[in-house]
Chains A and B, each alone.
Chain A
């Protein structure tokens, strides 16, 4: 599907087909009237492959809503979203499940590990669900990368928050998804641990070419991105390339002030 890119660097990316595109997406909560919240008011964007895209914005600006819609967890009131060339608006639950298995990985703010499974079992869970064969080498490489090779038989309750999030990242990567979504991946961690997690995310983009969309309200988190989208009041108001935390903070202040 062709959309009109609204960012300045469109020319540079024209050869690389976007893996996720959204066009004119709106999302309202509640019924029409006083209680109606317009969380998204017409958002269009596309996500380039092999890059880390950050979605920034003040609290309540609609970042999470946008991510849920991009990832097919939620449906827009208007507009279209396509992932890996498939318009997901028309997909049945079964096809959406198939799409998730093949194309999407998730990293959650609260980790969402299954408490009764060990770290290793959590990591390979998406493979088990899809019924595919485990690529042992790949799993070993991932566990090595997250640095938890000696903790694989521990249960989430026996791991620290940072360790749990590492397991979650490995779990998101294990099926080599077309795109990995992360909603405030450091939101529930202290800044040191958060920094380590960000490093890991950056590393997975650099070394595996993992396309990643990360939602955050933290400028330090957005600093690692190749591209930063700024959301305010349900609209994309700014689209920057890789930027320093300082630049990001400035932009953020600018867009929030409006």
Chain B
């Protein structure tokens, strides 16, 4: 029986290959995601390892909000006296302090290099030469406030040589420096596109306003002292704002931090691999069902020869599993290839990571193979069970058909029950505010899966009416080929339904995304329209940056500017939870039109040293009103005792503010990073071309900020949403592609099944062209059924979710234009899928086809 199954695959190579593709793509996505993120992780790990390669122990700033094991973003530097204390220990052989911050290098044309992403490091030769991860490739270490060293990649990219000058902006405006040397970060060629600017220690401390402070101290242990012992010796010497770890532990914590972000990205990608595999399982199940039906007589013969039901079952499952394994192997390597390609693409676009080689782990291999094989196995169960129901007598009956499944008479009831359960789960997941998030997400996930399955089960009943409606144009304008196409598509409703269902899934998710994005955009736009009454905004250039005080000061001094208000942001802990905290200027009300649930527009001006305003949701959650007290802990360990002065009614689409806002002065007293997320400003005469020119000119030397009017601000933010939506479309496109293979497969099998009939049609005068048109139109009708079902399901899902998110101001809006595009894409997909089957059908030899048994 194994032989029957294995030889069966060989005998049905084409369909096995087409079925295999359904798995290859999904598995490739899975393996590619693993390889890519593993490789990125390893690269990042190397960067951090290089950073402390020469150290035994590292002293770093401590984030008072975080646990021992977390890294230290946004925490304050510690006093340089720590270095003297540490160096004095007999267990210490050498120690050196450093500054590590961010600086933007500016090219000759005044625009930021490397998208503005750049790190700044201090060098202090000869004291730190043994520790510093930087290595001099050319020139000398920078000395004094006029010199800089840049990394080799940037130097090559910008054509910089020792002695040239280059602009750099730390926390202030762009200053021009002389390139004293070219450096390299350990053995690493590039830091993922980030530039490196190195200054001497005193200059760095000065530039970043860290006089008499350090960000890090690297320590080498004396002979015979272990890193752990040294850590224990150093710990008691440290102030509250510093901590000490072994170099290894320090590198690990730092890389874990970034790796956890990479891991989120990995799960994101894997999610789409999962969707593609789910769609693939539909394709496999459908192909096998058709195959089983076409092989009914063969299976029955096997039964008469003594095959048991179990043997028949396993022969079908085995066939699927073998295809699954082979396809998974192919997918595994296709994924590897994609990851290698993407890596090369990243390198080509300048964000290359350190060359550590592609990471192809055992886990990647095992998971990819397992997942692909398991999907094939699961998908084969239903067709395999049906195969066992082929009665032996079918071996001798002409035109034997598969008996209807035992559940067939409960078919509609079962299908509707599945849909109802799915909707119930979805409603629970979306609306049950009380339940745990994890439970709700699980309910939503299972609900969506069941909804797809349920609709697929109902779909055979919908095929006839849908085909009649969607096939009407074909029947009307396509002549007899068109009419035949429409009739063919309803000939085996179950087959058409499950073929269309695979496409439905992709289209439904795409529709859902597009509706949600539409809702998000319009809710965001509403919020901006409500709040943004300033003339211009200054937003940070690049994704991670911020607007420096120097930039804000420069804006304030620009002629014609009447008011500038900056908004700082950070995190804190209050009432046992993490909150977003802002520092706001007194003139905030002049540039942002806030509505107040309690208090008035006077509030921002009257915050003083311990006043705060909170947003209405947070006030509701913790029962706060004017006069309530808040104890806010900041990353520096400072605890602020605040009194609520006002409650801000936040628009549904969001605002620049977190939960709690205090005055800029109070913020600065408790936060290390005095950086602004945004600044808004008004000018005499409002928005005019002249004003825009003046402002842009005045801020030309401040590469960290971008000047935008309200409409520009809206447009850039919305284009960020659009970019993300396009990424989602691309990833969902993979699932659509998988379902395309499903359509090809079904058509090829139908053509094969109708060989004799096609021969007859040709014999009575149908031209090759007409045959091709007939197949093509059948394909388009199937695709349109899939698109219709998908759009309906997608709109329904979006409706549910927007109802649940209506508090966030997300409206339910149907982007008609996008839906029309999806339908057109479905039609194109149908035509594409039909090319190969239509050719096969039109190439049939009439005589042979007629004799075909």
Contact = CB atoms under 8 A, between A and B. Distances in A.
Interface of A: 64, 68, 73-74, 93-94, 97, 100-101, 104, 106, 108-109, 112, 114-117, 121, 125-126, 128-130, 171, 175, 183
Given A73-B392, A129-B1, A112 B306 contact: no
B172 to A, nearest CB: 78
Contacts of A108: 301, 395-396
B805 interface: no
B473 to A, nearest CB: 41
Nearest to B308: A97
Nearest to A64: B396
B378 to A, nearest CB: 25
A109 B309 CA distance: 24
Interface residues of B, number: 24
B393 A129 contact: no
Contacts of A64: 396
B673 interface: no
Q: Is the interface of B mostly helix, strand, loop or mixed?
A: helix
Given A94-B308, A97-B307, A100-B304, A112 B7 contact: no
A101 B308 CA distance: 10
A130 B298 CA distance: 17
A200 to B, nearest CB: 19
Interface string B335-360: 00000000000000000000000000
Nearest to A111: B301
Q: Which of A108, A116, A126 is the most central at the interface, judged by chain B CB atoms within 10 Å of its CB?
A: A116
Contact of B305 (A68, A116, A125): A125
10 contacts: A73-B393, A73-B396, A97-B308, A97-B309, A101-B306, A112-B298, A112-B395, A114-B301, A117-B3, A121-B7
Interface in B1-28: 1, 3-4, 7-8, 10-11
Contact of B7 (A93, A101, A117): A117
A57 B391 CA distance: 26
Contacts of B595: none
B571 to A, nearest CB: 66
A179 to B, nearest CB: 13
Given A114-B301, A121-B3, A128-B3, A183 B307 contact: no
A101 B306 CA distance: 5
Given A94-B308, A97-B307, A108-B396, A116 B301 contact: no
Interface in B297-332: 297-298, 301-309, 311
Given A114-B298, A116-B4, A116-B10, A126 B305 contact: yes
A171 B305 contact: yes
B306 A97 contact: yes
B84 to A, nearest CB: 84
A68 B311 contact: no
A128 B11 CA distance: 20
B396 A68 contact: yes
Interface in B270-314: 297-298, 301-309, 311
Nearest to B10: A116
Given A114-B301, A171-B305, 19 more contacts: A73-B304, A97-B309, A100-B303, A100-B304, A100-B305, A100-B392, A104-B304, A106-B304, A108-B301, A108-B395, A108-B396, A112-B297, A116-B4, A117-B4, A121-B3, A126-B305, A128-B3, A129-B1, A129-B311
Given A97-B309, A116-B10, A68 B4 contact: no
Contacts of B3: 117, 121, 128
A247 B311 CA distance: 47
B310 to A, nearest CB: 9
Contacts of B308: 93-94, 97, 129
B312 to A, nearest CB: 10
Given A114-B298, A116-B10, A117-B3, A129 B307 contact: yes
Nearest to B309: A93
Contacts of A68: 393, 396
A197 to B, nearest CB: 18
Nearest to B395: A112
Q: Which of B4, B302, B392 is the most central at the interface, judged by chain A CB atoms within 10 Å of its CB?
A: B392
Contacts of B10: 116
A175 B8 contact: no
A106 B395 CA distance: 10
Nearest to A93: B309
Q: Which of B10, B298, B308 is the most central at the interface, judged by chain A CB atoms within 10 Å of its CB?
A: B308
- Which 7 pairs between the two chains have the least Cβ-Cβ distance? A116-B11, A101-B306, A116-B7, A73-B393, A112-B301, A97-B308, A129-B306
Contacts of A129: 1, 302, 305-308, 311
Interface string B366-409: 00000000000000000000000001110110000000000000
A68 B297 CA distance: 15
A151 to B, nearest CB: 18
A115 B11 contact: yes
Q: Which of A64, A74, A121, A128 is the most central at the interface, judged by chain B CB atoms within 10 Å of its CB?
A: A128
Contact of B306 (A109, A114, A175): A175
Contacts of B309: 93-94, 97
A73 B395 CA distance: 9
Contacts of A175: 306
A148 to B, nearest CB: 19
Nearest to B6: A116
A109 B395 CA distance: 10
A95 B727 CA distance: 58
B396 A114 contact: no
Nearest to B4: A114
B596 to A, nearest CB: 78
Nearest to B311: A129
A183 B4 contact: no
Q: Which of A68, A94, A114, A183 is the most central at the interface, judged by chain B CB atoms within 10 Å of its CB?
A: A114
Given A116-B8, A117-B4, A130 B396 contact: no
Q: Which of B298, B304, B305 is the most central at the interface, judged by chain A CB atoms within 10 Å of its CB?
A: B305
Contacts of A115: 11, 298
A130 B306 contact: yes
A22 B298 CA distance: 28
Contacts of B297: 112
Contacts of A74: 393
Nearest to B307: A129
Nearest to B398: A110
Contacts of A109: 396
Contacts of B304: 73, 100, 104, 106, 112
A117 to B, nearest CB: 6
B396 A100 contact: no
A80 to B, nearest CB: 19
A70 to B, nearest CB: 13
A255 B311 CA distance: 44
A187 to B, nearest CB: 12
A117 B8 CA distance: 9
Nearest to A184: B396
B175 to A, nearest CB: 78
Contacts of B391: 73
A196 to B, nearest CB: 22
B393 A128 contact: no
A225 B298 CA distance: 30
A94 B308 CA distance: 7
A94 B298 CA distance: 19
Nearest to A117: B7
A162 to B, nearest CB: 17
Contacts of B298: 112, 114-115
A225 to B, nearest CB: 21
A171 B396 CA distance: 16
Interface string B462-482: 000000000000000000000
B305 A106 contact: yes
Contacts of A121: 3, 7
A201 B4 CA distance: 27
A129 B298 CA distance: 14
A97 B304 CA distance: 8
Contacts of B395: 73, 106, 108, 112
